[in-house]
Amino acid sequence: MVTDASLGTDSETDSEDAMSLQFSQLTLPQFVVETMTKILPVLKTTNPEVMLAGMQLLEEIKKLMQVSMTMDIWEDKSVVGRNLVRFCSATFFLV
């Protein structure tokens, strides 16, 4: 049998877990940029199968980027926005 005291503790733990997860999860634009930074170095391979898979993944990432990011990102003053601009600039420099 579950007591009322244990329900309160479980509820508090769930709230703490939810807040912790919220701060650690990536937004879609962050995921897109992080994935691009991992894909681009792989494209330097001489293995045609790996290069094709990388290009296909890059195409999907491009579609996600078009949906999730607007031109306003360059003027975003939030911490997440500034980090995205920094990552985008570094990634585009690699290309």
Burial readout 41-55 (b: 16 or more C-beta within 10 A, e: otherwise): eeeeeeeeeeeeebe
Mean pLDDT for 2-27 is 63
Domain-by-domain residue ranges, the chain? 26-94
Average pLDDT, the chain: 79
Condensed to tens digits (0 to 9), the pLDDT of residues 31-65 reads 888 888 888 888 898 999 999 999 999 999 989 98
67: left (phi over 0), alpha (psi -120 to 50) or beta: alpha
> Distance between CA 62 and CA 34 in Å, rounded?
12
